[in-house]
Structure 1
């Protein structure tokens, strides 16, 4: 098939585009052209690159035309964040493309009431990002149910992979957390320490998108949660991470008020956004309908990222990894 990937040079596309090429598809990548994929792969030499500024073309009402002119059999949209943008693309591709696969987010669900969360049992989203992702997923489902464009939405957890910082044990990108754990120092933990985060390796997300394209009939009109087989809580994540450096985690519970007083605002806010949701999700639907089979447990995915960051001197712990 001819597969157009929108935003294929990012976290997911780094692994997805080579997968599609290896599967024999003709692949066209639309991106701003401002960066290359996080990992080199020979398959990129077989990919046609199209440079476009989606935000600007969305404002001008021309982006859908650009995609349609490529005459795709399938479109994978990895960088759509508003209902207006998604709706415009759907209306332009209706009758022009065979399948639209959208990248959503587990944040389409709000703070967990019952675990694990399925596609149908999450609470209403909180925050504009999650609200928009939920609205897009619902619109896509209705579009296909009404006989329009065949669509699918996939909703990854916290994406991890070599080349970028993972969401850390306190639910943020704060590098100081890694230093504290690697030094065996006391780590101040807001809340109870049992709040959950559900990571997923970028290649496992890519696998799910590839399977959605290949199993179009099973994926038609459906939404899927794409995460690792298990989730980590704060306490367990910190203990595992400290062990990578030969240390034992020393955790000190503090109130959120105290945590905010000693943490940079951007990191404190990120911690709150991740931890107050405390999400653990099920992948049973994706396993059953798509054959989704993630290779990575969350700690293995995070360790791969941390190892890459240390090797490229983008993370400087107090001591070396011992694993």
Structure 2
């Protein structure tokens, strides 16, 4: 018998499949978005003035196109996932919350269960062939794919396509502000949110973005170190208004990274990290000259 959790996954697949044509209306915008991101990724705005001017222009267009994608594709998908109580916030939630139940279901499944599952498997295979927006779902997409493969492949005949034979179509550059739980090493450019004057002045925000792109390599400590540096660096140019709490909320809301321990390793900070971040700041300012 199909459980409530497994049925929720199946209904989510049905929702995605039923919206293939609806979401495909935005294919041109997605393609334009990818081209803009590709062009932007080739620029060095921190090192070249003309590149910075071009990057600023591109970013406005990128933000506008992403907003269309977000409103018409990402948010409806997130809303449906929440309605079905499917976790979408952190990597591996979908897997960890469903794998035990799927394993138990496979042990007790009947022929009737297989007949009920197979149409959803076909829907999912068609979905992955037809759409070009799965990459916008970030790690949630790969996590969902992993758990559905575990379920659907169990009901595959040798002559049938298995899920892993269908390559997932992903966008060229993924915005981390929606689903991503961290910063993969292979991503060189992050699409940052818009400037919030309640958190910092514009110069400080530009420096934050540079440090996030150049200094941050995936650890929470590096993210908190950026806040400490912006707070301690004695300059009238960079004005940080964000408290620890508002900074933590900003990071979680925009980059899906949760800061639990907001302290610093004093010895390492004084001997290494402050100096390292300061060198990044100098490189940033040299690039603006």
- State the TM-score, normalized to the length of structure 2: 0.30
Q: Which has the larger radius of gyration?
A: 2
Larger % of helix: which?
A: 2
- State the TM-score, normalized to the length of structure 1: 0.27
Larger % of strand: which?
A: 1
